């Protein structure tokens, strides 16, 4: 049979993928929100679980990586056609100096990775002016 060549492609939703012999790496779709306390990234990583997710911060860049599980085998049955395969997800974001990197937090539920990027405590101080 023919092996898949490593290549980058864009699927019908515009999501970039990299395909290799046994796996696919997707650039996950994300929503990014902002409020007065910070930023939140919601990344779509179906099939990934807590143990397969890696969120890192280095030199102003937050990187999200995750892997989905392989297709389940049915005991006593042989696969005659398989389209599910291991899938990886990877995406990186440059963040501003206002993010408190020590308080970055991540959680995953139902295939959605939520990364909270809180802002640093404000150094702003209101100074009262007195009259003489």
pLDDT bucket at 5, cuts 50 / 70 / 90: very low
Which of 33-37, 103-107, 121-125 comes out lowest in average pLDDT? 121-125
Q: Please give the pLDDT value at position 53.
A: 96
pLDDT exceeds cutoff 50 at 87: yes
**Whole-prediction pTM value?**
0.72
DSSP string of 74-117, one letter each residue: PTT---S-----EEEEEEEEE--TTB-GGG-EEEEETTEEEEEE
Contact 33, 88 (CB under 8 A): no
Q: How far apart are CA 113 and CA 58, in angstroms?
A: 19
Which of 43-52, 68-77, 82-91 comes out lowest in average pLDDT? 68-77
| Whole-number CA gyration radius for the chain | 21
Q: Please give the pLDDT value at position 13.
A: 45
Q: Where do the domains of the chain lie, and which CATH numbers do they carry?
A: 7-118 (2.60.40.790)
């Amino acid at each position: 049979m023919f092996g898949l060549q490593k290549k980058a492609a864009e699927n019908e939703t515009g999501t970039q993928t990299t395909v290799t012999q046994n796996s696919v790496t997707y650039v996950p779709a994300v929503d990014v929100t902002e409020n007065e306390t910070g930023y939140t990234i919601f990344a779509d990583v179906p099939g990934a679980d807590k143990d397969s997710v890696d969120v890192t911060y280095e030199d102003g860049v937050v990187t999200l990586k995750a892997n989905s599980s392989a297709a389940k085998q049915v005991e006593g049955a042989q696969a005659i056609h398989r389209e599910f395969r291991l899938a990886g997800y990877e995406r990186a974001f440059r963040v501003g100096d206002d993010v408190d990197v020590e308080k970055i937090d991540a959680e995953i539920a139902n295939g959605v990775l939520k990364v909270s990027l809180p802002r640093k405590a404000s150094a702003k101080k209101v100074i009262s002016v007195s009259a003489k």
